[in-house]
Amino acid sequence: MRPSSPPATDAATTATGRSPGLAPTSARAALFLVPHPDDETLAAGVLLAGHAAAGREVHILLLTRGEKSAVKDILNGVRTSHWWGVPHDPTVEGYAALTERTLGAARYRELVAAAAALGVTEDRIHEAGLPNDGVTVEEVKAAVVATADAIGGDLGLWAPSYTVDDHPDHLAAGEAVRQLGLDDPIRWGSCRYYVLPPYWSDPRLGSVDWCWDDPMESETAARARNACRAYGSWQPQAGVFACGYHSVYAMFRQIDANPRSLTHE
């Protein structure tokens, strides 16, 4: 449900004092497009936690479950992750070798746990069910419209950057939102684009109007850190495999040390 009255202040503002990461009407719901589980925590944990703490209705649209990730080979003992340090042996460790389907389910569970840490309940996680590494602009546009219709009311939209990134799924998601904004600026006028940490020094930032969102409250920073931990949990008998830490531990360590987000217009 929408909060009955808008919060007096926004929990997340920028170092410059602007709050471009936030929608103009603070009571407006927020929808975050997430191509793969972990993008939300690595690039937008501070934003999600800040909006949720401000009493805003926060939704996640998960485009894919990230089932094509090379972490499957790591968990199946074909490759070794730097974080774990030794090869896995599913037989010894008591779990069935992962398939794309079971890996997707495991990654989804990590997202649900991370979202809860950020203040977003599972009933506000929507799935587009698109194929990992096969996301198209048109499919994302259709999924955003359908999700926004189901949520109802005015929405602020956050999507991956349409230009400061190299992953085709991320770029397609950002481009879809950019095109929606061009097609119907009244409905989709409140859009911002988040940038993943590997691109925080990318020269392509020179072509966009970007800013930092730093947590203004210690609780927001704590929630962003706790979301990282959801991706490091290892309980194979419960179908929980630390997929995030096994694949991009350095990025989680970076966010844990200094939780912040970078967004552009």
Interacting residue ranges for Zn ion, rule: CB under 5 A: 35-36, 39
* Cα distance between residue 177 and residue 174, in whole Å: 5
Nearer to Zn ion, 35 or 156 (CB): 35
CB 147: neighbour CB atoms within 10 A? 18
Question: Least CB distance from residue 8 to Zn ion, whole Å?
Answer: 35
Question: Least CB distance from residue 124 to Zn ion, whole Å?
Answer: 20
Question: Least CB distance from residue 169 to Zn ion, whole Å?
Answer: 6
Nearer to Zn ion, 159 or 224 (CB): 159
Question: Least CB distance from residue 36 to Zn ion, whole Å?
Answer: 4
Question: Least CB distance from residue 15 to Zn ion, whole Å?
Answer: 26
Residue partners of 261: CB distance under 8 A and separation at least 6: 21, 43, 44, 45, 46, 47, 194, 212, 213
Say if CB 194 and CB 47 are below 8 A apart.
yes
Using CB positions, name the residue nearest to Zn ion.
36
| Identity of the residue numbered 212 | W
Nearer to Zn ion, 95 or 199 (CB): 199
Nearer to Zn ion, 35 or 50 (CB): 35
Nearer to Zn ion, 35 or 55 (CB): 35
Strand runs labelled E in the chain: 12-14, 29-34, 58-62, 125-127, 155-160, 191-195, 210-215, 234-235, 240-241, 261-264
Question: Least CB distance from residue 100 to Zn ion, whole Å?
Answer: 16
Question: Least CB distance from residue 195 to Zn ion, whole Å?
Answer: 12
Query: DSSP assignment of 91-159, as one string?
Result: HHHT-PPP-HHHHHHHHHHHHHHHHHHHT--GGGEEE--PPTT---HHHHHHHHHHHHHHH-S-EEEEE
3-state SS, residue 61: strand
Say if CB 261 and CB 193 are below 8 A apart.
no
Nearer to Zn ion, 232 or 236 (CB): 232
Nearer to Zn ion, 55 or 160 (CB): 160
* Cα distance between residue 115 and residue 196, in whole Å: 17
